[in-house]
Structure 1
Amino acid sequence: MATSIPYNSLFGYGLVNASAAVAQAIGQKCFADVPNSGGDNWGLDMVNAPEVWNRGYTGEGIVVAVIDSGVDYTHPDLDDNIWVNSDEIPGNGKDDDGNGYIDDIRGWDFVNRDNDPMDINGDGHGTHVAGIIAAEKNDFGVTGVALNAKIMPVRVLDSFGGTEADIAAGIRYAVDNGADVINLSWGGPFTSPEEAQAIQYAFNKGVVVVTAAGNDGGLQPVYPGRYATDFGITVGSIDRNHAMPYYSNHAGTTPLDYVVAPGVDVRSTFPGNRYESISGTSMAAPYVAGVAALVLSANPNLSPAQVENTLTATANSTGIRSASVYDGFFNLTSDDDYFEITPGVLADSPLGLRALEGNDWVEGSSESDIINGNQGNDLLGGNGGNDTIWGGKDKDDIFGDAGNDNLNGNIGDDFISGGAGDDTVRGGKDNDTLLGGSGNDQVFGNMGNDRLHGYATSGIEYDTLTGGTDSDTFVLGGFWGVSYQGAGHAIITDWEGELDRIEVPGNASQYSLSYSNLNVGSAANDTGIYLGTDLIAIIQDSTDVNFSRDFKFV
């Protein structure tokens, strides 16, 4: 764990700096600046990659495994930088290298159990990640951070996510077949012993593991990012103005190897010889994986721990803004303030926090806090404990984290995430995005065109989703897969046919609807939504539901 730069619970150690990291890896000072690349390569300028190329370090000889949805290895900006298994004879139907995988010339598909790790999911996720790491430097498209590194495609995700067994096997495959760096741009709220053991295996075998911190705006990373207390490094997202977006998970109060990198509107390779701009910590992590490849190309003798320490020790630290205390509450007195509460220092639990007008950041203690955002575009975090938070006016980002929280948005287009625990989430007026998180949650949209997320990936969970007035979208799946798959279900209490929508991944052929009394609400018939034979949601007291009109497949 790095100690030369102060650790911040929002941004960890700060923005990754390729120039400083590679210079430190070879015992030199930070390299001289070079002109910015500009345009679609603005992220390269932010992490100072061109300064490293100028000194001759380009990732040459380093293999980066992209363990994801696959990679379009035919893309003209990637095809010359795809790893090839030189110990395998193509097309002879034999396992020439004895690694247990027949004809794995360019990686492996653990979803379909074959040697074609092509990115076929439709979202282009793995291909986009691969381009950020190692797109070729040519006269078109984009350029990767480690422009001469090799990409090892390992497909473990389909449109519904991936299994723990496939993910763990994919990590071990990458380690055993020569990867120097592994990029994991996915995650979820629950720990997995299989995945944790595979990441530790990589660490012990000398492989650097880079993970995405998560996109639910939590006050700490999701898994596997949270394993960075011991193994690997996890990455949050910032935009080109060095501002952390609402969705990026923070570093958390428990120190771990966490840095930030560009992750908003990042343009990169996409299947079908295309390019797309995508946002998320999934895009930030490959910047750091690319920088790790540059570090290792300069000094291949570094251990994973030494690489991680180099990245954190040379990051550009961000400052902590000031606050003042008044009448048992923290009153944030400038327009853009941040304050983090330490339990037991300033007040007994429950701790009261009140922001003034302006755009404030308030993070509560691990106890049960009462936080009032007042006016302005506020970032309010409860941290641990059973917290009560009011957003006030304007556009607020509210995070409950652990504990049974009561979160209220009020006026403005708010983003509210309950985190772990049995939470009550209320959007208030305007168009809100509401996530219950893990636990048995009650989510109320109230007025406006709201997005209510039923978010459950393991364990038994029953959430109640009430949209309120106007046109609401009930989200039952996303990058994490299908919610409530083998894990309880959501109850949608106030369905309005022709106004409301259901959002799920995949296509209509994978789902079915039933119309019967499912013993929720009144004696009227309900609509059951099934993934195969698994009930994932009940629309209470309404059968006015059909796929063509009411479902959005993503």
Structure 2
Amino acid sequence: MTITKPFYLSAILAFALVSCSAPKQLVSVDPAKIDTMPLKTTKITNKQLERWSHLDLTQDTIPGMSVDRAYQGILKGKKATKVIVAVVDSGIDIEHEDLQGVIWTNPNEIPGNKKDDDNNGYIDDVHGWNFLGDSDNEQLELTRIVKKGNDGSIQYENALAELKVKQAELEPQKQQLDLILGAEAAVAKHLGKSNYTLAEVKAIQTTEPGLLQSQNIIVQVMTSIGGDKAKFDQEIGNYKDYVYDQLNYNLNTEFNGRKLVGDNPDDINDKNYGNNNVIGPKKESAKHGTHVAGIIAQVRNNGKGGDGVASDVVKIMTCRAVPNGDEYDKDIALAIRYAVDNGAKVINGSFGKSYSPNKQWVFDAIKYAESKDVLFVHAAGNDAKDIDKNPNFPNDAEGTAPEFADNVLTVGALNYEYGSALLANFSNYGKVNVDVFAPGVKIYATTPNNSYEYLEGTSMASPNAAGVAALIRAYYPSLTASQVKRIIMDSGTPLNNTLVLPGENGGETKLNQVSVSGKIVNAYNALLLAEKMAKK
């Protein structure tokens, strides 16, 4: 899984350093007019933020996907067929209050009888399959390459060099984290409680150097995140997980997360592994997949959490194949094939990595999905890099070479602020290898144990686009996967703004310089175009 630095990291690092009778037309705003549209000067409300990806640029000056407009207009009163959307991810809390009604159930499997009733090779796969078994944490692929030893390849040399860089970057982060954690403990001990306020910390009177330093640290960090201690605890806890997961698992060449699975990950024919526990060994580790599923399918307008793009028309199939670290090519290839063979028409892949030793297995699976008319929607990645030059696997082309399959939609991430900061500052981009952009910053959706959170990443942009794809396939089932891909790309809202290029060095760019379409996903437009194509 492509690791996104927690959104609060910058603060911590700063411390350290239409009418039914009238014919409906595509929303086609002159790019020059879009550039001069008045920006939203009032702060976006919490209610808007919870579902900003459903709003409309021309009506709300918020660069959402016009989902509400689609439901209120073109979809009103229309009938749809249910579409299975496979979520290849970290697992899904299928018991979540806002997802229970949208989880796919295998109609040909008898639960709990320990038999493979449908003869698909998986025993009791009632809601999908867990290709990771009881495993949870994993190394990055580059760590695994280094662990295998020097085989004289350029891949090994590049992986070793990158591993050393990442380890070097991690050390000062660990030092500053430990400093903050130590300061927090010292302040809590002095005040005699852990749930203190910023005012109480500021009020500490001391001449003891160590406590004085701790006081200053906590004041600075709490101030930078708004002074809320509960938020401080949550964000420092998440930052701790981020740092120590890399230290203990992702970048640790001595760690062996695959031992719990019991298979040979380098043998694609060794398929007798995993289990049917699609949540995973613990619900908390299914956070990423649960959030992704919620973006697509959490129930609309029920007063809970956010709204799913396609909740009325989808069933979510769970394929657990993405650990806390990088996924194995074998698991992804088999998960894609499982989804295809069990009826999925859209597969969402909110994962990715820079190295793929057995990429051909995945490429073959993608081509298999194409042959069965299944759309694969994939996150572009969160490294703020040009993936035309720095690949993010899996992909559908090598560098700038022609695509080997026409069923892959690669999605970059948008910010909720219309203007120069429209592109998410972490999002990968590519004039050849990123097809379109969709909302991916501060997306509110389901998380385990009946909770809801804001998360960000191209991991969130991908299911937003996948939700639109599911709507098209549900309401216009005669259209092929390739047609759905082209519809989403062709019908998007074109923008000609000067934008800040993602990455530390920034620079100026335009949407058509960092994506194939030069557009942002627009569900209303996509469904209008789909209706037109379906009539043909």
Aligned to 2:491: 314
Aligned to 2:289: 126
Higher strand share: 1
CA distance in 2, matches of 1:208, 1:99: 21
Structure 1: stretches of 5+ with no match in the other structure: 1-18, 322-337, 339-359, 364-372, 382-398, 400-554
Given residue 379 of structure 1, which amino acid in structure 2 is its aligned partner? G
Deviation at 1:185, TM superposition (A): 0.3
Matching of residue 109 in structure 1 with residue 109 in structure 2: no
Note closer, same or farther for the CA distance 1:103–1:62 as it changes in structure 2 (3 Å cut): same
Aligned to 1:43: 53
CA distance in 2, matches of 1:92, 1:362: 51
Contact kept in structure 1, 2:128 and 2:276, CA below 8 Å: yes
| SS of structure 1 residue aligned to 2:85 | strand
| CA deviation string 1:113-156 (max 9, x = no partner) | 11111053626110000000111122222211001211101100
Question: In the alignment, which of 382, 389, 393 is matched to residue 215 of structure 1?
Answer: 382
Given residue 428 of structure 2, which amino acid in structure 1 is its aligned partner? N
Matching of residue 153 in structure 1 with residue 163 in structure 2: no
Q: Kindly, what percent of the aligned residue pairs are identical? A: 38
Deviation at 1:52, TM superposition (A): 2.4
Contact kept in structure 2, 1:31 and 1:51, CA below 8 Å: no
Given residue 50 of structure 2, which amino acid in structure 1 is its aligned partner? D
Deviation at 1:59, TM superposition (A): 6.7
Deviation at 1:226, TM superposition (A): 5.0
Aligned to 1:183: 348
Aligned to 1:435: none
CA distance in 2, matches of 1:31, 1:317: 10
Matching of residue 61 in structure 1 with residue 82 in structure 2: yes
Question: In the alignment, which of 417, 424, 442 is matched to residue 241 of structure 1?
Answer: 417
CA distance in 1, matches of 2:502, 2:424: 16
Contact kept in structure 1, 2:54 and 2:65, CA below 8 Å: yes
Contact kept in structure 2, 1:59 and 1:146, CA below 8 Å: no
Given residue 52 of structure 1, which amino acid in structure 2 is its aligned partner? A
CA distance in 2, matches of 1:194, 1:285: 22
| TM-score (normalizing by structure 1) | 0.51
| CA deviation string 1:41-82 (max 9, x = no partner) | 111111111222232469750111000001100000101000
Which runs of structure 2 are paired with 1:68-83 in the superposition (5 Å)? 68-83=89-104
Given residue 71 of structure 1, which amino acid in structure 2 is its aligned partner? I
Further displaced range: 66-75 or 234-243: 234-243
CA distance in 1, matches of 2:347, 2:309: 15
Aligned to 2:436: 259
| SS of structure 2 residue aligned to 1:179 | coil
Which runs of structure 2 are paired with 1:22-41 in the superposition (5 Å)? 29-30=25-26, 38-41=48-51
Note closer, same or farther for the CA distance 1:58–1:216 as it changes in structure 2 (3 Å cut): farther
Contact kept in structure 1, 2:305 and 2:444, CA below 8 Å: no
Contact kept in structure 2, 1:58 and 1:146, CA below 8 Å: no
| TM-score (normalizing by structure 2) | 0.53
CA distance in 2, matches of 1:299, 1:66: 21
Aligned to 1:269: 446
CA distance in 2, matches of 1:171, 1:28: 37
Structure 2: stretches of 5+ with no match in the other structure: 1-17, 29-44, 56-63, 134-273, 515-536
Question: In the alignment, which of 379, 388, 399 is matched to residue 507 of structure 2?
Answer: 379
Which runs of structure 2 are paired with 1:483-498 in the superposition (5 Å)? none
Which runs of structure 2 are paired with 1:90-489 in the superposition (5 Å)? 90-112=111-133, 113-119=274-280, 120=282, 122=285, 124-137=287-300, 138-148=302-312, 149-191=314-356, 192-220=359-387, 222-227=392-397, 229=403, 230-231=405-406, 232-242=408-418, 243-252=422-431, 254=432, 256=433, 258-319=435-496, 321=498, 378-379=506-507
Contact kept in structure 1, 2:81 and 2:477, CA below 8 Å: no
| CA deviation string 1:151-178 (max 9, x = no partner) | 1011002223321111110010000000
CA distance in 1, matches of 2:508, 2:362: 32
CA distance in 2, matches of 1:184, 1:158: 13
Given residue 131 of structure 1, which amino acid in structure 2 is its aligned partner? G
Deviation at 1:224, TM superposition (A): 1.8
Aligned pairs, how many? Answer: 304
Note closer, same or farther for the CA distance 1:362–1:125 as it changes in structure 2 (3 Å cut): closer
Question: In the alignment, which of 102, 105, 110 is matched to residue 89 of structure 1?
Answer: 110
- What do you get for the CA RMSD once the two structures are aligned? 3.0
| SS of structure 1 residue aligned to 2:285 | coil
Contact kept in structure 2, 1:110 and 1:155, CA below 8 Å: yes
Deviation at 1:219, TM superposition (A): 1.2
Given residue 245 of structure 1, which amino acid in structure 2 is its aligned partner? A
CA distance in 2, matches of 1:249, 1:226: 15
CA distance in 1, matches of 2:69, 2:417: 20
Which protein has greater RCO, CA pairs closer than 8 Å, 6+ apart?
Answer: 2
Aligned to 2:532: none
Contact kept in structure 2, 1:77 and 1:142, CA below 8 Å: no
Deviation at 1:298, TM superposition (A): 1.4
